[in-house]
Structure 1
Amino acid sequence: MKLVWSPEMAAKAFMDTVKSCKLYQGSSAAELISAMAAGWNAKLIVETWSHGGVIATSIGLAVASTHTGGRHVCIVPDEDSRSEYSAAMAKAGLSPEVMVGEPAAVVMGLEVIDFLVVDSRKNDFVQILRAAKFGHRGAVLVCKNANSRATAEFRWRSLFEGGSRRIVRSVFLPVGRGLDIGHVAAGETGSGSSKVQTSRWIKRVDRESGEEFLIRK
């Protein structure tokens, strides 16, 4: 089984997020992310947040989790961030699960993440993506604020280089401050399947764009 897209679920989450975020300007990214999480019927939705962060995306993810019947977890670095985040979400009538700690370490303790949202302005966003565990259904990874300079050298296809997981497709969307989205292949877990472990991977680099490609033989 793999993540299967449901346009009906996506549409419902989108509209509910529009209503919930009507007081937040520039919330188009939140609405899109919410629709994606609901459309993929994500059962474990994880995000990272820190002091001063935009709350609209969190509202959208919380809305999506109500449609999928899933679990919405927010990872924050300290107690001050927890207090600020919880207060803002409570004001919106929502109360997702909050976990405090170093994000990459916390995410390692979460099993079978279906939908993961990180902030590409933070220096540890790549480590968080690599530390996450995904199930056989695959997963969707979202980098917010992808227009930032921090993502200039980021390449999805080299994210899990040498490991048992791979990105099968990726896209950049000029929504909000930019969304960089990657889809982890279904049927591959953190420990890897026997097919992946015995496969031979060859790396090729496009001389003009600098893009790295992994080819399995």
Structure 2
Amino acid sequence: MIMKLVWSPETASNAYIHTVRTCKHYKESSAAEYLSATAAGWNTRMIVETWTRGDPIATSVGLAVAAIHTCGKHVCIVPDEESRSEYEAVMKGAVTSEATEVLIGESAENLVERLSGVDFMVVDSKRREFVKALGSANTSKRGAVLVCKNATQKSIPGFKWHGVLRRGTRVVRSVFLPVGRGLDIAHVGASGGGDLMKLPSRWIKHIDPRSGEEHLFKR
């Protein structure tokens, strides 16, 4: 039997509302809200992100919220002890989650490679070393959703998903969304020949709580 990521609208909605309430004091929280709802909606159990000292924290809060709603694990990779201290201090004041674990290492690639069953991963397109970490991801047998945030500021010219992922990884679909500073999202197929494209398409409505602007995204 081939396992697949299965979409849960109720879980997505709950995570979205939770993130909106938690991130109401942060600027540019629209990406965090969307990613939280997406990670929760797919019922992801291993959520991985990369973060560096000084980066905005809203996305991390949203991913932690998603892990709470899926009873999953949220892992954040930081490059040094200073980043870890700042990250934990800010997160402690934003959301309480025992599901979050912080790993320290200058090479995000090496740390990602040690993690198994990754089914949701977010990296910063502005940082070349973090984008490279995508190629080290050991994705879940159910498939995975991989995200480059700040996609309008990519550090790798001519970025192509097939060019950064490990050989044999099957990109079922990819899409660019004008949320925040751009989200470049790829759905990676389940192992064993499963195909996420066989799932029915859905329209997802996202409303920016500040501007009231409405976006419709087809997944």
So what's the TM-score if we normalise by structure 1? 0.83
How far, CA to CA, are the matches of 1:27 and 1:166 in structure 2? 31
How far, CA to CA, are the matches of 2:95 and 2:122 in structure 1? 21
The letter of the residue matching 2:68 is T
The alpha-carbon deviation at position 30 of structure 1 amounts to 0.2
Following TM superposition, the consecutive aligned residue runs of length 4 or more in structure 1 with deviations greater than 2 angstroms are: 157-161
Q: Which moved more, 1:14-23 or 1:116-125?
A: 116-125
Residue of structure 1 aligned with 2:115, choices 77, 102, 110: 110
Q: Label 1:26 to 1:124 Cα distance change in 2 as closer, same or farther (>3 A).
A: same
Q: Residue by residue, what CA displacement relative to the aligned partner does 1:9-46 show, whole Å, maximum 9, x if unpaired?
A: 11110000000000012200000000010001000000
The alpha-carbon deviation at position 149 of structure 1 amounts to 4.2
Equivalent residues of 2:150, 2:183 under 8 A apart: yes
Structure 1 spans left out of the alignment, 5+ residues: 194-217
Q: Label 1:127 to 1:13 Cα distance change in 2 as closer, same or farther (>3 A).
A: same
The alpha-carbon deviation at position 176 of structure 1 amounts to 0.4
What SS does the aligned partner of 1:135 have?
Answer: coil
Equivalent residue number for residue 11 of structure 1:
13
Pairs within 5 Å for 1:113-192 = 113-160=118-165, 163-187=167-191
Q: Residue by residue, what CA displacement relative to the aligned partner does 1:126-149 show, whole Å, maximum 9, x if unpaired?
A: 320000101210000010100004
Q: Residue by residue, what CA displacement relative to the aligned partner does 1:176-203 show, whole Å, maximum 9, x if unpaired?
A: 0100000110125xxxx8xxxxxxxxxx
How far, CA to CA, are the matches of 1:132 and 1:93 in structure 2? 26
Q: Residue by residue, what CA displacement relative to the aligned partner does 1:37-72 show, whole Å, maximum 9, x if unpaired?
A: 000100000000001011000000000001000000
Q: Label 1:119 to 1:84 Cα distance change in 2 as closer, same or farther (>3 A).
A: same
What SS does the aligned partner of 1:150 have?
Answer: coil
The letter of the residue matching 2:188 is V
Pairs within 5 Å for 1:51-70 = 51-70=53-72
Structure 2 spans left out of the alignment, 5+ residues: 194-219
How far, CA to CA, are the matches of 2:137 and 2:95 in structure 1? 29
Equivalent residue number for residue 99 of structure 1:
103
The letter of the residue matching 1:103 is A
Highest Rg: 1 or 2? 1
The alpha-carbon deviation at position 165 of structure 1 amounts to 1.4
The count of aligned residue pairs is 189
The letter of the residue matching 1:183 is H
Residue of structure 2 aligned with 1:74, choices 76, 87, 102: 76
